[in-house]
Amino acid sequence: MLAYTLKRLLAGIITVWFIATATFMAMHMVPGDPLMNDKAVTAEIRKNLEIKYGLDKPVTEQYFIFMGNMLRGDFGISFTQQNRRVNDIIRDHFPVSATLGLLAIFFAATGGIIWGALTALYRNRLPDIIIMFLVILGISVPSFVFAALGQLLLVNINGLLGFSLIPVAGWGTFSHMLMPSLVLGLGTMALLTRLMRSSMLEVVNEDYIKTAKAKGLSPLRIFFKHQLRNAILPVITILGPSIAAITTGGFVVELVFAIPGLGRYFVQAVQQLDYTVIMGTTVFFGAFLVLMVILVDIIYGFVDPRVRLQ
């Protein structure tokens, strides 16, 4: 178990190193100049900016300096917010994305499991057909459409009520989180519903279910104790990458709902060619994703004793 975990962690570190290197190379290959802005500056000012950000050195040297700093956990100073450190940006804004993401995962997981189980129970009957139609909708409609529609819905509800029941946008209280996390989780919810449905249907025909029925167990007990527990495994597998994807992929939702998450910095940094923020957020998100996958693998062993970690 311990050896397995260590092995996975080592592989994870190599993955993160690879992500950092690939991002560094890609970033420097993108045409455009991070130090250029609307107003042209004199050669002297430019030289000073290059020195400040170490861009006066050859790219290979910049790479080794960056890697050295990264090992010490220092991502440098942002190019666009010249008095803010990238570490501060991650520390200030990741918790927001994480809170939003966890709530979204909560919605997605509970929704996905319940709807999935329902469709399996009512297989090929009306509830199944309706839910599966909505699932296809949920998978194919991009999140920015849901975000806009969700916000419009809130505006209209509040307009009808004459007071603000649920805030239209912003951040601070629990009610601010409801709509954005629901919107953010919809895609994953749809995916999990479909996954849950197929794995439930698989389990239904297993011998141990027949045995349980033959023993005369109540349908409820069979459903919860035998069907659900066994069908949930594939859902857990996909949950790891989903957590990372949701926590990091909320750019549009953050923009529409005016949420101070890290996703906005992640995307805007690329548009602004903000080298340090690009590197900082990408490496951080990359490491987060790797960690989630490892965690899920370990949890998997606990949930299903048949899985041996080697």
Partner 1 sequence: MKNCLAMLLLLSFSGPIWAQNKATSVNFETQTITIALTQEPPQLNGMKATDQVSILILSHVMEGLTRYDRRGNIVPGVAERWEINDKDATFWLREDALWSDGEPVTAHDFVFAWRNALKPETASEYAFILYPLLNGEAINKGEMDAARLGVEAIDDRTLHIRFERPTGYFDKLTAFVTYFPARQNFFESRDQRFGADATDLLYNGPFQISQWVHSASLRMTKNPYYWDRSNITLNAINADYITADTRSRLNLFIDGKIVSTELDGETYKDALTQRFRIRRFTTGTVFFLEYNHRDNRITRNLNLRRAIQHVFDPDEMVNKVLATPGNLPGKSLFPVWLKGKHDKFRQEYRAPEAPLDLNQARQYLAQAKAELGLATLPPLVLLVGDSPTAAKQAEYLQGKLKATLGLDIKIDIQTFKQRLAKMTAGEFDIVAAGWGPDFDDVMTFGDLLTSWNLNNRGRYNNPAYDEQVRIAMNSANPAVRMDAMGKVQQIVFDDAVILPQYEQGVIYLLHPALRGVVRRVVGADPDYTYAQVIELDQKD
Cα–Cα dist 24/75, whole Å: 13
- Residue selected from 33, 124, 207, 305 as contacting partner 1 according to rule CB under 8 A: 33
Give the CA diameter of the chain.
86
User: For residues 202 and 166, is the Cβ–Cβ distance under 8 A?
Assistant: no
Half-sphere exposure of 160 (CA within 13 A, CB side): 6
Q: For partner 1, which stretch binds (CB under 8 A), given 3-11, 19-27, 129-137, 295-303?
A: 129-137
Nearest CB to partner 1, comparing residues 163 and 174: 163
Interaction pattern, residues 97-116, with partner 1; x per rule: CB under 8 A: --------------x---x-
Helix-strand-coil split of the chain, %, nearest 5: 75, 0, 25
**In whole angstroms, how close is the CB of 168 to partner 1 at the nearest point?**
4
**In whole angstroms, how close is the CB of 265 to partner 1 at the nearest point?**
8
**In whole angstroms, how close is the CB of 95 to partner 1 at the nearest point?**
12
Nearest CB to partner 1, comparing residues 24 and 240: 24
Cα–Cα dist 126/134, whole Å: 12
Nearest CB to partner 1, comparing residues 127 and 219: 127
Nearest CB to partner 1, comparing residues 143 and 290: 143
Q: What is the DSSP string of 201-258?
A: HHHHTSHHHHHHHHHT--HHHIIIIIIIHHHTHHHHHHHHHHHHHHHH--HHHHHHTT
Nearest CB to partner 1, comparing residues 57 and 309: 57
The DSSP letter of residue 261 is: -
Interaction pattern, residues 138-177, with partner 1; x per rule: CB under 8 A: ----------xx-xxxxxxxxxx-xxx--xxxxxx-----
Contacts with 232 (C-beta within 8 Å, 6 or more apart), sequence order: 113, 196, 199, 303
User: For residues 185 and 192, is the Cβ–Cβ distance under 8 A?
Assistant: no
Nearest CB to partner 1, comparing residues 172 and 216: 172
Query: What is the contact surface with partner 1 in residues (CB under 8 A)?
Result: 30-34, 36-42, 44-49, 52, 77, 80-84, 89, 92-93, 96, 111, 115, 130-131, 134, 148-149, 151-160, 162-164, 167-172, 255-261, 264-265, 271-273
